[in-house]
Amino acid sequence: MTLLWEEPHGEAITVVPDTVQDLSFTIEASAVRIDHAEALYQAVVSHLPWFADTPNCALHLIHGGESGNGWQRPDGDDAVIQLSRRTRLRLRLPKERLADARVLEGKTLSLDGYPVQVGTASERPLALTSALYSRHVVDVHDDEPLFLQQAIAQLQGLGLRIVKIVAGRAHRLQIGNERLTTRSLFIADMRLEDAILLQQQGLGCHQRRGCGIFIPHKTPYSISR
């Protein structure tokens, strides 16, 4: 495990803008393959062709209760995640595309032969929190220390102040014709305005296939809303 850790700092409460939001769909599905990034992207684009090139669009991969905040999952790339009725399909979208994405309501998506029936959608604002994590950030070097260096450089390139960051375990995802390495990434003690920006912008490539998209980490850093 690779980490950078400095002392915490104070924060002022920040208002979360609504320019980018999550659209959360109820779904009916019993299971999906763990490595469903490409299948989910293709299924979404088949109904929402604008999703492929509209800025600030991303998707959350589907996770079951055993995903453990993204740090654990069943073994094997062909393993299957069993889903509960509380599982959701979520897209991260600019505000002006939220209504358009509701076309997915009532559709059935086939993810490598596993059907996902899409139900009703609700809008969810981005989180007001100082601790974020991403289950999958692309590691182009397939090397943990270099990955962390690159991630810090990219975050600083966005103008973010990073004091606590941890790179987690590696996974492999099929993205198009490539088999890519990804790593989970946890960032804490962020300025709230920085955390909002990171949720809006994401980190690295293949965000439309579930990589580099950040969600709140369930720690004391999160602020109840």
Write down all domains in the chain, each with its CATH number in brackets.
Answer: 2-16+127-216 (3.30.70.1210), 21-125 (3.30.70.1890)
Q: 86, 33, 63: which is closest to 133 by C-alpha? A: 63
Q: What is the pLDDT of residue 198?
A: 98
Token pair belonging to 176: 């198009």
Q: What is the pLDDT of residue 223?
A: 39
In sign, the C-alpha dihedral spanning 100, 106, 109, 114 is: positive
Name the residue with higher pLDDT: 20 or 14: 20
Q: Report residue 14's pLDDT band, with 50, 70 and 90 as the boundaries.
A: low
Name the residue with higher pLDDT: 38 or 169: 38
Q: Among 9-18, 29-38, 212-221, which stretch is predicted with the lowest mean pLDDT?
A: 9-18
Q: Per-residue pLDDT tens for 172-214? A: 999 989 999 999 999 999 999 999 999 999 999 999 999 999 9
Q: Report residue 126's pLDDT band, with 50, 70 and 90 as the boundaries.
A: very high
Mean pLDDT score, 154-168:
95
Distance of alpha carbon 45 from the chain centroid: 17
Asked whether the predicted pLDDT for residue 149 surpasses 70, the reply is yes
Name the residue with higher pLDDT: 12 or 221: 12
Q: What is the pLDDT of residue 79?
A: 85
Q: In what order do the strands lie in the sheet with 58-59?
A: 58-59, 88-94, 20-28, 114-125, 108-111
Mean pLDDT score, 118-145:
96
Q: What is the pLDDT of residue 218?
A: 75
Q: What is the pLDDT of residue 101?
A: 98
Q: Among 66-70, 101-105, 123-127, 132-136, which stretch is predicted with the lowest mean pLDDT?
A: 66-70
The CA-atom distances, in angstroms, between 112 and each of 90, 118, 119, 207 are 19, 16, 20, 20
CA–CA separation, 214 vs 132, rounded Å? 6
Q: Per-residue pLDDT tens for 50-107? A: 999 999 999 999 987 544 444 345 555 568 999 999 999 999 999 999 999 999 999 9
Q: What is the pLDDT of residue 167?
A: 96
